[in-house]
Amino acid sequence: MASKFDYLRKNLYAMAELCLEQVLILDDAIEQENPDLAKQVIERDDLIDSLEKQNDNLSQNAILEAIANRNLLGMDQIDGEVILKKDPLRFALSSIRINRSLERMGDQIVNCATCYRRGLIPKGFFRQEEILDKMLSRVVTLVGMAVESLVEEKNRFYGSVHTVEEELNNLCHSAFLKFVLDPRLDKNQFADLYRMILGIERAGDYAVNIAEELVRLNTGMDIRHLSDPVQVTEKTKVS
């Protein structure tokens, strides 16, 4: 029983670390204006897809095994508010959600790499425009915090994740408004730049999804779509 869940956990960590490596390579590709690095991002996506399939099957099997063994593990005798992440069933369910977010995050990073590798965006454009450089920096930070939180199985970064996400969303919105009528870009160049802006924003969104799922795993609280999720999580820490 333990080895099955250990294998699932190990696979999930490996997938998360691959996603972090992908966004770091994308950042290097753009900073160094190196399309070969962008090609690496695209080619490595198969590794993430393979782990996603493995983790999906592992999670489903783990759920069935957890249900069958709940009584043997003594989970039927523990208060539901205390179980939280100690319950293998809860962990297996969270793994499915985290697995999907990681796979979709990987897809968004690949979309950005594909657009960049086409070479339509003028050389040096990202380095010349501070707002684009900040966007890349913030998404790297978000993915890094999500991965570290996952490996630690803690939600202590959630407040910071929420703050960086707001900043990233504002940057992406401002970038769209700034470049939509930029005379330096023709329609095809802007289309690829816009796809990259969307990909960066959505990669950040999936990092936040992972952080939210870790809050649910650790506290049992579903904080999605709340008006002030940070305040809710802070109150939980105090209590």
- 238 domain-assigned: no
- 120 domain-assigned: yes
Give the per-residue SS3 of the chain. CHHHHHHHHHHHHHHHHHHHHHHHHHHHHHHHCCHHHHHHHHHHHHHHHHHHHHHHHHHHHHHHHHHHHHHHHCHHHCCHHHHHHHCHHHHHHHHHHHHHHHHHHHHHHHHHHHHHHHCCCCCCHHHHCHHHHHHHHHHHHHHHHHHHHHHHCCCCCHHHHHHHHHHHHHHHHHHHHHHCCCCCCCHHHHHHHHHHHHHHHHHHHHHHHHHHHHHHHHHCCCCCCCCCHHHHHHHHHHC
Question: Per the structure block, which two tokens stand in for 137?
Answer: 């920096």
Looking at residue 83, its pLDDT comes to 43
CB environment 135-171: b (16+ within 10 A), e (fewer): bbebbbbbbbbbbebbeeeebebbbebbebbebbeeb
Q: What is the pTM of this model?
A: 0.84
Looking at residue 238, its pLDDT comes to 37
How far is the C-alpha of 208 from the C-alpha of 216, rounded, in Å?
13
- 237 domain-assigned: no
CB 226 within 8 A of CB 93: no
Residue 134 has a CB neighbour count (10 Å cut-off) of 15
Q: What domain range is 20 assigned to?
A: 4-74+85-223
Would you give per-residue pLDDT tens digits along the chain (239 residues)?
Answer: 445 777 888 899 999 999 999 999 999 999 999 999 999 999 999 999 999 999 998 888 878 777 776 655 555 554 444 444 556 778 888 889 999 999 999 999 999 999 999 999 998 999 899 999 999 999 999 999 999 888 887 766 677 888 899 999 999 999 999 999 999 999 999 999 999 999 999 999 999 999 888 888 777 666 665 555 555 455 544 34
- 106 domain-assigned: yes
- 79 domain-assigned: no
Domain count, the chain: 1
- 236 domain-assigned: no
- 80 domain-assigned: no
| C-alpha distances in Å from residue 38, one per residue of 21, 98, 102, 126, 141 | 12, 25, 19, 14, 19
Looking at residue 68, its pLDDT comes to 72
Q: What are residue 160's phi and psi, to 5 degrees?
A: -65, -40
In this structure, what CATH number is given to the domain that contains residue 206? Answer: 1.20.58.220
Looking at residue 200, its pLDDT comes to 97
How far is the C-alpha of 185 from the C-alpha of 22, rounded, in Å?
27
How far is the C-alpha of 213 from the C-alpha of 90, rounded, in Å?
11
- 122 domain-assigned: yes
Looking at residue 65, its pLDDT comes to 76
